[in-house]
Structure 1
Amino acid sequence: MKKFFGAALIAASLATGALAEGVTHRVAIHVDENDPKVMNMALNNVANLTKHYESQGDTVMVEVVAYGPGLNMFVAGKSPVEDRISTMSLEIENLTFAACGNTHRNMSKKAGKEITLIDEAGLVPSGVVRLIELQENDYSYIRP
């Protein structure tokens, strides 16, 4: 029975192209905690899934979205993973970082000055809305 199921699964995958090379995978990774362990786990996820899929000849598009306390991941001079993000953005094609505009505005207001984000992070109006948009565009959702 196991052999039949396995063969059927492989046949179905071949029919849909799931095992064919050249597949594009889209992944949204959500960070909303100001915890270096969570931030590093998110970046580990990026590195591991990119390595896995690229070894199969597939393309991977990854967007890390941070909001709330997680926005500290992208605050210049404060982020515990700033250097790692800089390196990864140079090494991994199709990797982007989205910073929540709502959180950024609130953090800046509370600080009494504009909070500077790392160059790699692009500002989006809302982190939550961005995650919804990505999922509506066939991105898989990961929360470390």
Structure 2
Amino acid sequence: MQPPPDAVGGRIRRARDKRAASIAAAAEPHRLALQISDEDPAKMRAVLDVAANISRHYSGEGDEVEIVVVAFNGGLDMLLADRSPVKERVLGFAKSMPNVSFIACGNTLETLASKEGRQPPLLDGVTVVKTGVATLLELSEKNWTIVRP
């Protein structure tokens, strides 16, 4: 006995829909957010190492990857022009890995400005958001993977 024609058509549609969904998922870039909240140069270097390694890994496989480094609290020093212990390396990412971007927490910047009596200068290319942790939360809600090396 053969199944009714609409049952066969329904299975074919579902199979096509699943295939289309898997193709769409494969076309989506990988998304990684790296948190740096410590004023520790070794941890800052670790964040940059992870960003570089993941970028090279997926590029080598022909896949796209978007990486964002979110800095707040003591980790903000990583993105400050007058004190970053990894300044040259961060600036180098703009040239060698344009898929990696850097975000500074506006709340932390305001706190530093209040303490120091001046606005701390950021490295070129850094984006400021109101709240770094909220940005991580929102990225997580959009299916980004959050890692704190």
Q: Which category describes the TM-score, using the shorter chain as reference length?
A: 0.7 to 0.9
Contact 1:22 1:57 (8 Å CA) reproduced: no
The CA deviation at 1:50 is 0.7
Contact 1:85 1:120 (8 Å CA) reproduced: no
TM-score by length of 2: 0.81
Match of 1:8 in 2: none
1:42 aligns with 2:47: yes
1:108 aligns with 2:96: no
The CA deviation at 1:17 is 4.3
The residue type paired with residue 95 of structure 1 is: V
The CA deviation at 1:16 is 7.3
Q: What per-residue deviation string (whole Å, max 9, x for no partner) do you get for residues 7-60 of structure 1?
A: xxxxxxx99749x96551000000000011000000000000011111111001
Match of 1:9 in 2: none
Size of the aligned set, in residue pairs, is: 130
Match of 1:134 in 2: 139
SS in 1 for 2:53: helix
Runs of 4+ in 1 over 3 A off after TM superposition: 14-18, 20-23
Decide which of 70, 87, 90 is 2:92's aligned counterpart.
87
Contact 1:100 1:126 (8 Å CA) reproduced: yes
Match of 2:129 in 1: 124
Gaps of 5+ in 1: 1-13
1:31 aligns with 2:36: yes
Please provide the CA RMSD for this pair: 1.9
Gaps of 5+ in 2: 1-18
Match of 1:76 in 2: 81
State the alpha-carbon separation in 2 of the partners of residues 124 and 16 from structure 1. Answer: 33
State the alpha-carbon separation in 2 of the partners of residues 107 and 50 from structure 1. Answer: 31
SS in 2 for 1:97: strand
State the alpha-carbon separation in 2 of the partners of residues 141 and 55 from structure 1. Answer: 22
Considering only CA atoms, is the larger Rg found in Structure 1 or Structure 2? Answer: 2
Percent of aligned pairs with the same amino acid: 36
